[in-house]
Structures are given as structure tokens and as C-alpha cells.
């Protein structure tokens, strides 16, 4: 079993529902969903990878528990962390293109998100078992710049701290000749949901019951009500 810390809005949030329907799977219930409205050709292949993880932004990448640690210990630490971490608000989201895939990304300053991600990475590091040699090889460290290769070995994930970019993935790789089409479709589908603020009020602990299985939300811990607004 692997665990991961993700950001996701609550299960009943309209954005969660819209994204789950686009991906074809609800990570809170594990239910398969049929997208409403028109779907682009080859939709199943476009969403296959992000659907397995569920609608989320990665804060601490999937990890096995370190020896001597238990799920109960992890949940207790999550409660303490969440109680001491203020909620905040993302002013706006937009459809972003990261390499060949698409995601929802902040439209503006992301300092509060960067701080949250860095705090999560550090706070829960004692619970992470070291990556196996096979896991490291799977991430192709030889293709990474030196800082990211160091992060992979030291923290179990390449994209932490200054290499972190908050994104809520909506597609897998999209062929270059289809990227404009898919971008237009996503802009239309999510147009009513990305122009306003998105509160960051919870931290999700997700589990992968066995390697390759779909992730699901185990719990969504509420952040402190001491609220701060992201510039």
C-alpha cells in the first residue's frame, strides 16, 4: 500500500464534481462516472492516467510507510499538521499546458501553495520509506537536472521545493496536433468554474491499495480556520 498527500476540493464542491466527470472517476467514492456533454475523440486515452490518481494536486508524492510507522500514526500526524496550518484562497485557476499535458493551475501568485507543499513534504518525511532501486530507475534520474535528481534521492520526488509547480492534472500526454483542440474543449468545459476563487481548506491523504490500483481519498483533513488570502 502507498500513501500520498494531495490537495483536492471537498467531495461536494462543483469543481470536484466537474473534474471527476471529465476524468470518468470519483476518487472519494471510487465510482466510475460517465462524462456529461461532448467528449473529444479518444477521451478514454486522454484521461486514463490522471483518472487513476483522481482529481488532485500532488503535495507529497506516493510513498510506502517507513518501518515502525503505521497508518494510525500518519493520520494522527495529519490531524496535528492540519490544525496548525491556516487555510487560504487561490484567487483564480486557469487551464495550463505543462509539456504535453493539461492541468488546472493558479492564475497569478502561487507563494502560499508553494509554502504549503514544502511544509507537507518536510512534515511527513519521517513516514516515508526510502525509494527502492527499481522506483528510482523508473523515474529515469539520468534525464533529470542535478537539483531534481538530488530531490528524488533525498525526498522521494523530483518536483519539490523550487521545482514544485502546483497543478491539478486533467489529461495525460496530448499529441501536438491535438493540443489546440483539447485546450479549447477544456476551456469551454471548465469556463464557469475557473474564474473565481478556490479555497484551500483541506489536505487529503490518499491511498493506493496495491501498486497500479486506483487511488482513493482516505480522509480530507480540515486546515485551520485562521484564514489567509493568497495574493
Domains of the chain, each with CATH number or no CATH:
2-224 (3.90.1140.10)
pLDDT tens, residue order, the chain (231 aa):
999 999 999 999 999 999 999 999 999 999 999 877 788 999 999 999 999 999 999 999 999 999 999 999 999 999 999 999 999 999 999 999 999 999 999 999 999 999 999 999 999 999 999 999 999 999 999 999 999 999 999 999 999 999 999 999 999 999 999 999 999 999 999 999 998 899 999 999 999 999 999 999 999 999 998 555 444
As a whole number of angstroms, the distance between CA 213 and CA 204 comes to: 18
The answer to whether the pTM exceeds 0.75 is: yes
205 forms bridges with which residues in the sheet?
A: 5, 219
- In order, the DSSP letters of 38-50 are ---TTHHHHHHHH
E strands of the chain, at which residues? 2-7, 57-63, 86-90, 93-98, 101-106, 168-169, 198-200, 202-208, 216-222, 224-229
Amino acid at each position: 500500500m502507498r500513501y500520498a498527500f494531495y490537495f483536492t476540493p471537498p467531495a461536494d464542491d462543483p469543481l470536484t464534481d466537474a473534474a471527476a466527470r471529465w476524468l470518468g472517476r470519483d476518487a472519494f467514492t471510487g465510482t466510475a462516472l460517465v462524462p456529461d456533454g461532448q467528449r473529444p475523440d479518444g477521451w478514454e486515452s486522454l484521461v486514463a492516467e490522471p483518472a487513476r490518481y483522481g482529481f488532485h494536486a500532488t503535495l507529497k508524492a506516493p510513498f510506502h510507510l517507513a518501518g515502525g510507522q503505521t497508518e494510525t500514526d500518519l493520520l494522527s500526524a495529519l490531524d496535528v499538521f492540519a490544525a496548525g496550518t491556516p487555510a487560504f484562497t487561490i484567487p483564480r485557476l486557469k487551464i495550463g499546458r505543462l509539456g504535453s499535458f493539461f492541468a488546472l493551475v493558479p492564475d497569478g501568485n502561487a507563494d502560499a501553495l508553494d509554502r504549503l507543499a514544502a511544509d507537507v513534504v518536510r512534515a511527513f518525511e519521517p513516514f516515508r520509506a526510502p525509494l527502492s532501486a527499481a522506483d528510482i530507475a523508473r523515474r529515469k534520474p539520468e534525464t533529470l537536472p542535478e537539483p531534481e535528481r538530488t530531490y528524488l534521492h533525498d525526498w522521494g520526488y523530483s518536483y519539490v521545493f523550487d521545482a514544485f509547480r502546483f497543478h491539478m492534472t486533467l489529461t495525460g500526454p496530448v499529441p501536438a496536433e491535438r493540443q489546440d483542440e483539447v485546450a479549447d474543449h477544456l476551456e469551454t468545459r471548465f469556463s464557469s468554474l475557473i474564474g473565481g476563487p478556490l479555497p484551500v481548506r483541506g489536505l487529503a491523504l490518499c491511498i493506493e491499495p496495491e501498486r497500479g490500483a486506483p487511488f482513493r481519498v482516505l480522509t480530507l483533513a480540515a486546515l485551520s480556520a485562521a484564514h489567509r488570502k493568497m495574493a
